[in-house]
Amino acid sequence: INSNRKINKKPSTSACYYICQDCLVHLGDLARYRNETVEAEVYYKQALQLVPTNGQPYNQLAILASSRADTLGTVYFYCRSIAVKNQFPAASTNLNKTFSKACQSGNSSPPVEKIAKAEFIQMFIQFHGCIYLAQDLNVAKPLTEKAIPELKTLLESDDLPASDLIKLVTINLFLLYHIASLDDGDDYDSLGKDDHHDSWVVTLDFTMKMLQCFVERATHQDEAEVKNSEDSSLTSILPAIFIICQWLKANSPSIFKDDVVTDQPQLWLDFVNMLNSFAVDSGPEKSELFPVKKETMDTTGLFL
């Protein structure tokens, strides 16, 4: 070995990022083993900021959420771990197990406190689990009829913060991404052409109904709510609306040829009214009402 030989080649920036991310993930794991969950979460989130297209940090955050009995967070982070450029291999298996458990416990009673929110999240996860696991659609369809009224109630009472709404929308769009990806995979034949189409229609219809709820809440606020930007529900709802609009834009023009999207006259009328109200009521001094930066960070690397 020639010790005098100079090595001029430097590692690439991306390689350094991956190494640093791996170290942060392991530090997070060590903290989690010590039951220092807050410290572990900090390490995992720092790791995903380095390389948001790598699924491992999201998988670890899902494990952390599961240890806290946070089913919504667990499913959300497993979805994020899959819907990226470099998905974490174990995430699909973990998501299957989580959905299976949620579907099996679908009839159990939720906690007494905040029963409406608990019921809604339970139905939401069960619905998406039925579709994802290719179970009976006759079980999934009634869940949408029950979940949407619950969602409206929760939005009216402002019981769902922006972080929860972002998780709900992301999980929903992930399911559409999953169904669409079956066209190119082996699972398409096992699901069946008719069931595949029906799954898409039912899930997309649920997406549009969610958007309808968001837009209705945004356009039917009291003037006092709008004047106080900190208390306005717009600060919670707009990020969710923004993400759905970004998905519609990314999948246009084909998505706007789908009857489920076009056959929503009241939705699009309310949507136009909402945009027109922004043009009249908003200005530079009300920019806080339009929080588009945070949710963009929250969906960085998302592959939908």
What is the number of helices (H) and of strands (E) in the chain? 15, 0
Phi and psi at residue 54, in whole multiples of 5°? -100, 130
Is pLDDT above 70 for 185? no
| pTM, two decimal places | 0.85
Any residues with CB less than 8 A from the CB of 90 and at least 6 apart, and which?
59
How far apart CA 217 and CA 255 sit, in angstroms, is 24
pLDDT band at 126, cuts 50/70/90?
Answer: very high
Which residues, at least 6 apart from 232, have a Cβ–Cβ distance to it below 8 Å?
221, 225, 226, 289
Q: State the DSSP code for 135.
A: -
Range in 232-236, 280-284, 287-291 the model is least confident about: 287-291
- Asked if pLDDT for residue 47 goes beyond 60, the answer is yes
Helix (H) or strand (E) holding 295: helix 292-298
Q: What's the pLDDT tens digit per position in 58-113?
A: 999 999 999 999 999 999 999 999 999 999 999 999 999 999 999 887 655 444 44
* pLDDT for position 172: 97
pLDDT at 290 over 70: no
Query: How do the residues of the chain divide into helix, strand and coil, expressed in percent and rounded to 5?
Result: 75, 0, 25
- Span 12-25, mean pLDDT? 93
pLDDT tens readout for residues 225-253: 555 555 467 888 999 999 999 999 999 89
